[in-house]
Structure 1
Amino acid sequence: MTTSFPITAAGSAIDSTPTLRPSAHFTAERAWLNDPNGLIQYKGVYHLFFQTNPHGTTWGDISWGHATSTDLVTWTEQDVAIPCTPEEMAFSGSAVVDSRNTAGFADQERGETALVAIYTSAQRATGDGPAIQSQSLAFSLDDGATWSRYAGNPVLDIGSEEFRDPKVFWYGGDDGHWVMVLVEAVERTVAVYTSPDLINWTLASRFGPAHAVGGVWECPDLFPLIVEGTGETRWVLVVSLNPGGIAGGSGAQYFVGDFDGRTFVAERLTDSPHLTDYDWLDYGRDYYAAVSFDNVADGRRLMVGWASNWQYANETPTAPWRSAMSLVREVTLVRSGDGRHRLVQRAVLPADRGAVRVFETTVPCGPDDLTTLAVHGEGDERLLVIVDGRERTISCDRTVSGDTGFHPDFPSVDRAPIPEECGDQLDLQIIVDAMIVEVFAAGGLVTFTEQVFPRSNYDRVSSV
């Protein structure tokens, strides 16, 4: 049955002038943007590096852009941190605080601390041989303002054309070591390397292929979380893939298990061919390459993803910029009713909501319940959120959301299973920020990220 229910909303009045540029989702001012890189907090400042083409609004001449924030929602774009060169592009990677000066880049007598970026050197294709991908370093001695490439680059080169996206972190105490996880992309494996100094690396193990393997693997992340309500620690391995995502095109899956500093072992692997039997960070079309921040002072695990999809990313109708990041999400880990460990994701929202609209409600999802919500502005363009109690699914339908004709793969209806623990009630939080809609269901057990391109700003949610 169809039912009505109260919807609460928070946010300031929205200017009637249509705009596609979001306010709390970071966008580059006048350039292309894709994967988040080098996420780190240092001296109270969050640094968001990102893949960018400083010379245009489509993929190419890939370099590391840079933005900073003190609250995770108001970002200031900085100068390009690691520019491409005639010989290489600077593909995805990570950054760490080398507080022990293991690489020797800092002059500790002068009180220096080095921030070190670990990125993929992607050789430009020439007629002389394959375009090798290897791992290189850059460092900053002025709190991330400027960066220098290490003269001894690359620090890890296996002669592969598909070897990329290093995520690096320190494992253990003072007698610990650096860990790098990166992908052997076409083999659908995550390789684990260790190092005492960020320069000399030794292969420790590999994980995969496993679960979704419909495309190449990219942008891995590995981090520990305490299971809520317990003292138990589990490790979460995030792997993006393109194509082969749950909603079509690119997407991001995760595995929960154990890690001893060298080897990751997943606690649950299934031979099921059904994508719905795997664990996904997001069930929408536009959440990819998500990675977490390093060195966060309060210990929270904070993640951000690229809010787009490789199927149509180069064609989305915005100018003079293209693509946005998701909102930053705090992720935690819970044990669900069936014994599986699952991630819970909660959006970091601005204290002053401004143009960001947040709608919250609880809808019935019993076997006889069918609820449709329309997220919309003026006119008939809308994104539909459909909760089907009989099928036990929640869907986002953007087939009439605005401009959908710029690419045939853009119109979509994306679905996720309703978690069993929800019973007959499902809570929803719908966040609207210009061209980005993020939906958090079941307390953040299920999320959707969807781009929309309406003529009129979405500023309301109605029951249909």
Structure 2
Amino acid sequence: MFYSTIIRKAILFASLGVLCVAETYQEQYRDQYHFSPEKNWMNDPNGMLYHKGVYHLYFQYNPGGMTWGNISWGHATSNDLLHWTEQPIALEVRKDAGGNVQEYFYSGSAVVDTENTSGFGTRGHPPLVAIYTSHYAQNMTLPSGKTVVSGQESQSIAYSLDDGMTWTTYDAQNPVIHEPPTEYITADTIQNFRDPFVFWEDSQKHWTMVVSLPNDHMVLIYTSPNLKDWTKVSTFGPANAISGQWECPGLFPLPVDGDKNNVKWVLQLGSNPGGPTIGSGTQYFVGSFDGTTFTADADTVYAAVGGPAGSSVVEDWQDTSSLASSTAALNWTATGDFVGITPVTGEDKVSNVLDTYFHGDSNTGAITSEAFVIAKSFMNFRIAGGYHPYNPSTYGTPSDTETSLNLKVNGKVVRSATGQNTGTLAWQGWDVSNFANQTAVLEIADFNTGATGWGHLIVGEILFSESLAEEQKANWVDHGPDYYAAATYNGLDGYDRVAVGWANNWAYGSDIPTNPWRSSMSVMRKYSLATIDSKITLVQEPYNLAPISSTCYDKKWDTLPGSQFDLPVTGKSLDVTLAFDIVSTINSSAQEDSTMRLLVRSSKDGSHATVIGYDASTQQFFVDRTNSGDVNFAPVFPGTYSAALIPDAHGRVTLRVLVDWSLVEVFGGQGESVITAQIFPSDDNESISLSYTPGAFKNVYIKVKDVASVWK
């Protein structure tokens, strides 16, 4: 039986929450300055709205447990985007008399209907209107007379007349968008049509909605005069990263380089899986919007990239008779279970691949090429199979469980790649310019038995090239694994745009070792657009942390002593700025890349730490969490994540590193490249240190700020 959803403000509940918060928010792994609910499961941020001096954060929430289910809208409020008060549930899952779910409240947005276009309030007392996806769990006829089927997704609205504290669903007409337009209706789109983001388009004097057809990789754009009656006016997509579902779209304007006479529009999208690393990710497009149609700028859309023109073959597995043959591009030597393995026909039924599945995932061993000379600046290859990265601490030991393609120079692994827990081959590549004309070998290492899934590797053609191949080039908002479903605030002044993302990943989100809650949000981020390397780029910076931070260490060096330095400070919640100039990109005497590493949440001996680094040879920064603490709860969790970061016009590199009890967020340069990654370190690991290639860096500066808990 359906009913109007009205949640009464529970003042007693809220006050009790404040009284017990000091004890509740001190559990192991509980982030101290990132929002998380007191208990239970949370995912996407929803309905983000600034109204009458209050920031509202609604979110996907399970009121009854620590895994996904009973999806409702949780609610928290803040006056400063730092300190949060959890409020009663805003929109709660609907169930029938037998306790069976009828309707889930999926992701959406919220607006202030200032002109009372909806008629739910008055101009003097305008309503707040939430727009969300109704996911129906039963075949039903609704109070509006509309029929829905189990699994159907439609767009509905609710309104609030008390500034967002209680909500009434518009059951007389819900859903206000019953199904996709006729030309897009399929069995799939009936069940995958979700995540509306709505805003007022002042130039056209109408409401605009962007909503996703996830598996079609398409955003539909609707307009409405009153938030009740909607007309589809245009579409966008597919484009760029399309290997996963498109979810949680957002569309908003931003000035370029602060110039309000040069405004561009940003379309932001979740991609799951098919992110930049493993599982979930968030991409964006820059373009123009005329009130009905979004048009992406040419330089923000990329054609699918395969092997670059002018590439030369290192190996293409065309000789299927043997790994060691005079007609093969390279002769390979197998060990372990792979002796006698031969290439097989690939997924495209044309090219061949080497697949270490052979007779099953339990096979282990290595397959090593003959020596060859590195002839070009890049090596590109297609790769699939298990995500079990090379780990230098276990390599060559009985504890090695990698499934990796490794490049070895002088017996040392200098580049490595792994699969993405999928059988679909994707292009990856390495910059090997630092090893030009040196002798190398390739190693296909598979020491994973498949006990935790995907215990094999698939390798397609391997090429020498003068540019990098990318399977699905995209503009990634965040290059780490833990920034998804990002959403921005409605109701801010002018072009101000503050965003937050779910700091988790669908690949392992239900497995992270937290209790009695599961998942935090990212830090609030201020979005802007800047011209970087001649391209308009989304730039992010943490929202003001000054009220809760204080400097505890500030140091400069013209040149660093030795190769390692332990900072005389410790901490679990930090804001660290590290900047330096590059002297050289490679240590020729040691034949290794020039790398600066910052170890945080580290054991005293450095054996366990989260490592944030910059590789001057590849102009990339990275986050390595392979030895960060508890990494064994999911096989895809340990890994190293990297992003391009070109030194600024003065040759300087700047990294800002936010560290919390179970999260790191690294902002490179002006914030044009960001990596967010969860970590689960031991409580005892609070040390901080630098390690670096001797003589490779100068004018090094580090500032460490202690960040206070917002829960105490």
After TM superposition, is the score higher than 0.5? yes
Percent identity, aligned pairs only, is 42
- Give me the whole-angstrom Cα distance separating, in 2, the residues matched to 1:120 and 1:324: 22
Kindly provide the amino acid, as one letter, of the partner of residue 334 in structure 1: A
What residue in structure 2 maps to residue 413 of structure 1? 640
- Give me the whole-angstrom Cα distance separating, in 2, the residues matched to 1:414 and 1:374: 15
Deviations for 1:408-453, whole angstroms, at most 9, x for unmatched residues? 0100111111136466321011111111111111121111111001
Contact 2:304/2:472 (8 A) holds in 1: no
Kindly provide the amino acid, as one letter, of the partner of residue 370 in structure 1: T
After superposition, residues 307-346 of structure 1 pair within 5 angstroms as: 307-337=503-533, 339-346=534-541
2:617 alignment partner, SS class: coil
What residue in structure 2 maps to residue 456 of structure 1? 683
Contact 1:49/1:64 (8 A) holds in 2: yes
Deviations for 1:142-182, whole angstroms, at most 9, x for unmatched residues? 01110110121100021611000000000025x51000001
2:578 alignment partner, SS class: strand
Residue correspondences, number: 444
2:510 alignment partner, SS class: helix
TM-score, normalising length: structure 2: 0.60
Deviations for 1:325-345, whole angstroms, at most 9, x for unmatched residues? 0000001101122x2110110
Deviations for 1:173-224, whole angstroms, at most 9, x for unmatched residues? 5x51000001001100011000000000001111011000010000000000
Q: What is the Cα deviation at residue 73 of structure 1? A: 1.0
Q: Does 1:133 align with 2:163?
A: no
Q: What is the Cα deviation at residue 349 of structure 1? A: 3.8
Q: What is the Cα deviation at residue 112 of structure 1? A: 1.9
Contact 2:654/2:669 (8 A) holds in 1: yes
Q: Does 1:245 align with 2:265?
A: no
After superposition, residues 20-31 of structure 1 pair within 5 angstroms as: 20-31=29-40
Q: Does 1:161 align with 2:170?
A: no
> Relative to 1, partners in 2 of residues 1:458 and 1:278: Cα closer, same or farther, differing over 3 Å?
farther
Could you tell me which of 70, 76, 81 is aligned with 1:72?
A: 81
Could you tell me which of 250, 262, 271 is aligned with 2:303?
A: 271
What residue in structure 2 maps to residue 356 of structure 1? 573
Q: What is the Cα deviation at residue 119 of structure 1? A: 0.2
What residue in structure 1 maps to residue 598 of structure 2? 373
Q: What is the Cα deviation at residue 364 of structure 1? A: 3.6
Q: What is the Cα deviation at residue 377 of structure 1? A: 3.9
Q: Does 1:236 align with 2:251?
A: no
Deviations for 1:294-335, whole angstroms, at most 9, x for unmatched residues? 011464210000000000001110010000000000011011
Kindly provide the amino acid, as one letter, of the partner of residue 264 in structure 1: F
Kindly provide the amino acid, as one letter, of the partner of residue 168 in structure 2: S
Contact 1:434/1:458 (8 A) holds in 2: no
Q: Does 1:54 align with 2:63?
A: yes
Q: What is the Cα deviation at residue 363 of structure 1? A: 2.9
Q: Does 1:300 align with 2:330?
A: no
- Give me the whole-angstrom Cα distance separating, in 1, the residues matched to 2:682 and 2:294: 47
Kindly provide the amino acid, as one letter, of the partner of residue 104 in structure 1: G
> Which sections of structure 1, spanning at least 5 residues, go unmatched?
1-16
What residue in structure 2 maps to residue 202 of structure 1? 231
Could you tell me which of 237, 251, 254 is aligned with 2:284?
A: 254
What residue in structure 1 maps to residue 104 of structure 2? 89
Which fold has the larger relative contact order, with Cα–Cα distance below 8 Å and residues 6 or more apart in sequence? 1
2:621 alignment partner, SS class: strand
What residue in structure 2 maps to residue 347 of structure 1? 542
What residue in structure 1 maps to residue 624 of structure 2? 397
Q: What is the Cα deviation at residue 107 of structure 1? A: 3.6
Q: What is the Cα deviation at residue 371 of structure 1? A: 1.2
Contact 2:242/2:472 (8 A) holds in 1: no
Could you tell me which of 427, 445, 449 is aligned with 2:672?
A: 445
Larger radius of gyration: 2
- Give me the whole-angstrom Cα distance separating, in 1, the residues matched to 2:633 and 2:651: 39
Q: Does 1:112 align with 2:128?
A: no
- Give me the whole-angstrom Cα distance separating, in 1, the residues matched to 2:160 and 2:133: 17
1:257 alignment partner, SS class: strand
> Relative to 1, partners in 2 of residues 1:430 and 1:82: Cα closer, same or farther, differing over 3 Å?
same
> Relative to 1, partners in 2 of residues 1:399 and 1:97: Cα closer, same or farther, differing over 3 Å?
same
Q: What is the Cα deviation at residue 457 of structure 1? A: 5.9
> Which sections of structure 2, spanning at least 5 residues, go unmatched?
1-25, 96-101, 141-147, 181-189, 306-469, 551-571, 587-593, 692-712
Q: What is the Cα deviation at residue 276 of structure 1? A: 7.6
Deviations for 1:203-262, whole angstroms, at most 9, x for unmatched residues? 111101100001000000000000015330000000111000001110000000000011
Contact 1:422/1:442 (8 A) holds in 2: no
- Give me the whole-angstrom Cα distance separating, in 1, the residues matched to 2:615 and 2:471: 19
What residue in structure 2 maps to residue 212 of structure 1? 241
1:96 alignment partner, SS class: strand
Quote the RMSD (CA, aligned, Å).
1.9
Q: Does 1:100 align with 2:100?
A: no
Contact 2:647/2:653 (8 A) holds in 1: no
2:257 alignment partner, SS class: coil
- Give me the whole-angstrom Cα distance separating, in 1, the residues matched to 2:127 and 2:495: 21
TM-score, normalising length: structure 1: 0.92
Q: Does 1:149 align with 2:149?
A: no
